Amino acid sequence: MPCVRASDGPVAVTGASGFVGSHVVLALMKRGYTVHGCVTDLAHPAKIDHLKAFEDRTPGHLELFRANLLEDGSYDAPFAGCSAVLHVGTAMAYGGANNSRQVYEGAVEGTQRVLASLERAGSIRRLVYTSSFAAIGHPAPPGYVFSENDWASQNRTGDPDWSLDRIDVNGETAYAMAKVETEHLVNRTALADGGFDAVSVCPLVVLGPLLSPAHHLVFSWQWFLGRMLRGKPCKRAWQALWNIVDVRDVGEAQARILESELCKNGDRYQLSATDRSGELNVNQLQEQLQTLFPRIAVGGAPPEMDEYLAKYGKVYDAPRAYCDRARRELKLETHPIEDTLRETGQSLLDLGLIEPALR
């Protein structure tokens, strides 16, 4: 399919008010696109005010639409006349908002509804689907370097958790299985339709500037970083690595995919660390944050770390993964890890979302 430009007409973004979705909208509006932003609640200031403010700082234009992944035909109106769709929205479990089955069914059935509206529109040339590294990562030896050729369904022989029968009791499996299934679904649908192509992005640990209080989702990566700035011990992925990508780079990559003449149906881009500087264990993360915020007593490893190290000797050397393809094919210029961490923490402070543990 031909690439898309701002002059080709509006583009639609699902999940436009979310952490990633907001940065996708911003990247597009910086390029002068008219964006049809799809949100679940048009009356919620924390979900729309920051989006409306983009019009004052970009040459683009924003039109907001109410749409919901759980409602048939919900995307018919926002997709009408659009040249592309960036499907970012999905059901998440942050703060107990959804159980694992709702996460799975919301992703799969919601994407089916998005595809149905897309095909009814008849004008869409490219779909950019926000998948996840959860659709890539699979059981592998420590130090294994993942790429776009990997799928989470690999190396699962004899794994009792990798089963639809287990999604009610294993949220991580439910999310990973949903992302694998939906990636295959969008590619298969685009191939059968023939009128549009589908390209996926697979972000890993997404950090960077929060644009709204609504982005401070309980148990998200940015929430746990904020917890460390509150002087509390890290409680997520402390046994392994935080493999970090900047949310601004995730938004920029999606805009570049729209305009790329190289992209074709079924392509996927792993959005992860630029190099080893973006793969941090909990002690390295604490050290970097302490340097960036010297007046704050930054929390570090939890008490359980001593027992873990006594048993295993070191943190698990995973996930190793790099955004080489995006940098090579999309010419993506990534933010330094120090900038990503600084902007994450500073935005949490500026928005008044955390009370820092001052020294």
Q: Diameter of the chain by CA atoms?
A: 60
Catalytic residue check, 30:
no
pLDDT at position 9 over 90: yes
Number of C-beta neighbours around residue 255 at 10 A: 25
Question: Residue 164, Cβ neighbours under 10 Å: how many?
Answer: 12
The CA distance from 343 to 276, in Å, is 20
Q: CB count, 10 Å around CB of 65?
A: 19
Spatial separation of the C-alpha atoms in residues 327 and 310, rounded to whole Å: 39
Among 56-60, 155-159, 243-247, where is mean pLDDT lowest?
155-159
Query: Is it true that domain 8-208+245-274+320-334 has CATH number 3.40.50.1970?
Result: no
Low-confidence winner among 74-78, 105-109, 116-120 (lowest mean pLDDT)? 105-109
User: Can you give the pTM of this predicted structure?
Assistant: 0.97
Question: Residue 95: is its pLDDT beyond 80?
Answer: no
H or E segment and range at residue 61 = strand 61-66
User: Is residue 84 a contact partner of residue 45, using CB atoms and an 8 Å limit?
Assistant: no
Nearest to 247 by CA among 93, 21, 16, 13: 21
Catalytic residue among 30, 179, 235, 331: 179
Mean pLDDT on 185-208: 98
List the chain domain ranges: 8-208+245-274+320-334
